[in-house]
Amino acid sequence: MHLSSIQLACAALVAVALGAAAPPSSSHHVARRSFFTLECKGVYDAAIFARLDRICDDCYNLFREPQLYALCRKDCFTTDYFKGCVEVLQETDQLEQFKEYIRILHGAVPPAGN
């Protein structure tokens, strides 16, 4: 191995090590962008958004229906799909808390059916 090959290998290892040491990109910006994409008009709260989003993610993972995740989150978590996911995931004991979370994010009281 020539000296330049060793230098090149060391440079590659350093680049990989630095990339691994860098903090992972924050999902905060993605979640905040999703907040506006879902037409949420209330107050953005990362913890609340993550909790409601987790319901939809778990529901998708249970059924593996490609559209279910989007339908669950649609209109800032105010669709019947979100409520259905809460029921299927057996989290109905937290439904009132979820309604309060939706009110905060959505900026209004969720429809009566939810």
Q: Which domains does the chain have, with CATH numbers?
A: 28-106 (1.10.2010.10)
Predicted confidence at residue 14, as pLDDT, reads 34
What does the pLDDT read at residue 95? 96
Q: What would the two tokens of residue 74 be? A: 């649609």
Q: What is the pLDDT of residues 30-83, one digit of tens each?
A: 566 777 677 889 999 999 999 999 999 999 999 999 899 999 999 999 999 999
Task: Dump pLDDT digits (tens) for 5-43.
Answer: 554 343 433 333 333 333 333 344 556 677 767 788 999
Give phi and psi for 67, each to the nearest 5.
-85, -15
Predicted TM-score (pTM) of this structure: 0.68
Look at phi and psi of residue 8 and say left if phi exceeds 0, alpha if psi is from -120 to 50, else beta. Answer: alpha
